[in-house]
Chains A and B, each alone.
Chain A
Amino acid sequence: MATFEKVSLEELNRFVVQASWNIPDVLSMRGTEGVNPLIPRQLYEILSGFDSFYRWNTFEEAIIDKVGIDGVAKMAKSAHDEIGTKINSLHIWCLLAVPFGTGRGVLGNAGILKYSDNSDAMRTIVTFYKVLEQNFRTDGNLWTAFGGYKTQLLNDKMLGTLKNSLEPLTAKTKASFSRFNASGELLAFFGHFDCRLGVSDQGPYDLGDGRLMIVRDHFVNEYHYHWTDVCEELPYVYTLVFTVDKSKMKRWIINDLSTSYPSPADYQPFITHACVFKRDKWDSSVQKVPLGTLDKISEQFDTCVTKLYTKFERMCDLEKALCGAWTYSVGMLLPFALRAGIYEELCDKYGMWNNIPMVFKYFYQVNDIAVAALPKLLKGEGWVPLIP
C-alpha cells in the first residue's frame, strides 16, 4: 500500500464543490455531438464509472508505490517537452471526472451507494489528480477555465522546434492537410469507441508574428486494444501542427477535454502553415512526415475506418459496452501506467481489465438509471460533499 499524504476530508469536500462547476461547463460544450446508433456510449460511460470509482485508487496507489509522488509529478511535466503523448489535459481531467461523475454521481443518484461511501479511495483519486494537474499545467490553475481556456504546455525549446518545422501551405497541400485532419480525427475517435480520448489539442500558442499555433494529436492506432488490430500498419500517433491567421480569429478556446472551440467555427480557410509528425509506439522517437504523403495516409485511415465499422457491426451490445468501458476504465490510466513501467503488472497482478461484478449486476438496468441520473449530472449534481 502506498504511503503518501492524501488530501484531507475537508479539502476533498471543497474540491468536490469546485469541480461541480467545471462539469456542466465541459459537458454542455461537448453536448453538440450527435448520438451514435452503433455504439452505446451512454451505457459504457456509466459502466466504466463503476470500475473507476471502486478500483482506480488501487491502481493509482500501485503507480505511486512504484515511482513515488515525485515520479507522478515528473510524468505530468513530461508533457512540457513531448508531443504525441496521452499525458494530456483530457486524460488527466478524466481521472477526476469519471469516478466522481459517472461513478459516484450515478450510483448516488440511483440510491445504490451513500455519498459518504469510499471516502478513502476518493482522497487517493483527488490527490493523484491534483499532483498531475498542478505539475502538468504551467499556470498553476486546476482547470483551463481558470487559465483563460488555454492549454500552453510546451517549453520554448520544443515550441521553437515546431515553429521552425512549419511549412507554408499551397492550395494542393492545404487540401491534403484538411483531408488528413478530417480522416485522422474520424479514425482516432472511432478507434476509441467514439470518444475523444483519441484526439487532443493544445495551445493556442501566439507566435508573435500574427499566427496562432495549435498542436493536435490523433492517436490512430492505440495498439493496447484488441479491436485496433485493423490499424496495425499505422503508427501510434500523428501530430498535426498548424497555424491560423490571428487577425481572422475572434477567439480560440481549448477546454479541459483538450477540445478546441474556435470562433469563427470554420477556421480551415485561415490555416497558413502546417507540419506533421508521427510516433510508431507510445515511447518511440518523433519523426517528421512529408506533406506530400498525406493523401496516401488518408486513404489508409479510410480503409481502417471501414474495417472498424465491420468489426463493430458484428459485436453484440454487451461486447460493445465492455470494449467502450475499457477505453475509459483502462484507457484513461493507461498512459500513466505505461510511463510508470507498471502496466503489465496492473494487468496480470491487479486484473486491470477485469470488470467488477457490479458492472454485470446492473448492466441491463444502467439505461434506466442513466435516464434519471444524467440530466442531474449535466448540472454538476452528484458532486455532493462527503459528510464527515
Chain B
Amino acid sequence: MSWGGNFDLAWKKIPVGKEFKKPEELVAFVEKETKFYKWYSGYYSQIAVLRIKKDGSEKTVNVTLIKGKYPPMYTPEERQKMDFDKLGEQPANILWDGEWNEIKPEDFPMNVMEVILPFDMSKVIYI
C-alpha cells in the first residue's frame, strides 16, 4: 500500500522520536495526541501513519486502532441502550488483522520518529 511518500497533503505530523517497548505504549500515545472518529453505530476508529526506524533505515507503516466492537453489529435494542460517550472512554486496541494495519506484535520494541495523520479531524463535531 502507498499513500504517497512525503505526505505533503497530510493534516498533522506529530514528532515522536522515541522507542515504544510494547504496543500498549503506542496505543496510549496515539489516544492522547489524536482525536478518533466517533461512529454512532458503536465504535471509534483511528488510522495513523507511523514513520519508524528499523534496521538503520526509515519507512512508513499504517496502524489501525479501534474502540468498541468491530464490525459494530448490534441489535437495535443494544444500540438504543448504548452510551456512546462512555464507549469513547474505553482504551483502544490495535486492529491487528485489519486490512489497513501494517504492524505486528513482533515489530515491538518499535522506534517511532513521527506520527502522521492524513485526515483533518479538527473540525468534526461529536454529539
Pairwise interchain contact A28-B72, C-beta atoms closer than 8 A:
yes
The answer on a CB contact under 8 Å between A387 and B71 is: no
| CB–CB A25/B127 < 8 A | no
Q: Which of B39, B45, B71, B80 contacts A264 (CB 8 A)?
A: B80
**Residue among B4, B42, B45, B76 making CB contact with A13, cutoff 8 Å:** B4
Contact A29 B47 (CB under 8 A): no
Instruction: Tell me whether B80 and A265 are in contact (CB under 8 A).
Output: yes
Alpha-carbon separation in the docked complex, A32 to B72 (Å): 12
Q: When A24-B71, A28-B41 are in contact, do A17 and B9 touch as well, CB less than 8 Å?
A: no
> How many residues of chain B are within 8 Å of chain A by beta carbon?
33
Instruction: Report the bound CA distance from A275 to B2 in whole Å.
Output: 52
Question: What are the residues of chain B within 8 A of A148 when measuring CB–CB?
Answer: 125-127
- Per-residue CB contact flags for chain B residues 1-39 toward chain A (1 = under 8 Å, else 0) read 111100001000000000000000000000000000111
Asked if B9 contacts A25 (CB within 8 A), the reply is no
Contact code string A239-266 (vs B, CB < 8 Å = 1, else 0): 0000000000001010100000101110
Number of contact residues on A: which range applies? 35 or more
Q: Are B71 and A378 in contact (CB under 8 A)?
A: yes
Whether A261 lies near B40 (C-beta < 8 A) is: yes
| Known interface pairs A21-B45, A140-B123, A388-B4; A11-B9 also in contact (CB < 8 Å) | yes
Q: Find the B residue at minimum CB distance from A14.
A: B118
Is the CB–CB distance between A385 and B123 below 8 Å? no
Q: Chain A contacts of B43 at CB under 8 A?
A: 24-25
CB-contact partner of A28 in B71, B99, B126, under 8 A? B71
What residues of A have a CB within 8 angstroms of the CB of B45 in the complex?
21
CB-based nearest A residue for B3: A13
Residues of A within 8 A of B98 (CB): 379
Q: Bound state CA distance, A385 and B99, in angstroms?
A: 11
Residues of A within 8 A of B57 (CB): none
Contact indicator per residue, chain A 12-38, by CB within 8 Å of chain B (1) or not (0): 011001101100111011011000000
The one of A25, A141, A147, A261 in contact with B72, judged by C-beta atoms closer than 8 angstroms, is A25
Query: Which residue from A11, A21, A147, A255 sits with its C-beta under 8 Å from B37?
Result: A21
Smallest CB separation, A139 vs chain B (Å): 8
Q: Let me know if A13 and B2 touch, CB within 8 A.
A: yes
List the A residue with the shortest CB-CB distance to B84: A251
- Per the 8 Å Cβ criterion, residues 144-203 of A in contact with B are 145-149
Query: Which residues of B73-127 are within 8 A (CB) of A?
Result: 73-76, 79-80, 98-100, 118-119, 123-127
Query: Does B1 lie within 8 Å of A385, measured CB to CB?
Result: yes
Given known contacts A14-B9, A387-B1, A29 and B40 CB-to-CB distance under 8 angstroms: yes
The residue that A17 contacts in the complex, of B39, B80, B100, B125, with Cβ under 8 A, is B100
A145, B119: Cβ atoms closer than 8 Å: no
Question: When the two chains form the complex, which single residue of A28, A149, A265, A381 contacts B42, counting CB atoms closer than 8 Å?
Answer: A28
**Known contacts being A11-B9, A378-B71, is A17 close to B47, with CB within 8 Å?**
yes
Contact A10 B41 (CB under 8 A): no
Query: Given that A25-B40, A265-B76, A378-B71 are contacting pairs, would A149 and B127 also be in contact in the complex, using a CB cutoff of 8 Å?
Result: yes
Interface positions of A from 28 to 66, Cβ below 8 Å from B:
28-29, 31-32
CB pair B39 A21 closer than 8 Å: yes
**Residue A131 at the B interface, CB < 8 A?**
no
B72 and A24 contact, CB distance less than 8 A: yes
Q: Is A384's beta carbon under 8 Å from chain B?
A: yes
Asked whether A24 and B70 contact (CB < 8 A) given A263-B80, A385-B2, the answer is yes
Question: Chain A nearest CB: distance from B1 CB in Å?
Answer: 5
- Mask: chain A, 259-288; 1 = CB below 8 Å from B; 0 = not: 001011100000000000000000000000
Of the candidates B9, B39, B72, B79, the one whose C-beta lies within 8 Å of that of A10 is B9
A10→B98 CA distance, assembly (Å): 21
A18–B45 Cα distance when bound, in Å, is: 11
Given contacts A10-B9, A14-B119, A25-B40, contact A146 B71 (CB under 8 A): no
Write out the residue numbers on chain A whose beta carbons fall within 8 Å of the beta carbon of B100.
17, 20
Q: A10-B9, A14-B118 are in contact. Are A25 and B125 (CB under 8 A)?
A: no
- The residues of A that contact B42 with a CB separation of less than 8 Å are 28
Complex A-B: 5 CB contacts under 8 Å: A25-B72, A26-B41, A148-B125, A263-B80, A380-B99
15 new A-B contacts at CB < 8 Å, known A13-B3, A381-B99: A10-B4, A24-B41, A24-B43, A24-B70, A28-B42, A31-B73, A140-B123, A141-B125, A145-B38, A251-B127, A253-B40, A378-B73, A380-B99, A387-B1, A388-B2
- A-B complex: 5 closest residue pairs judged by Cβ atoms: A10-B4, A25-B39, A148-B125, A148-B127, A381-B99
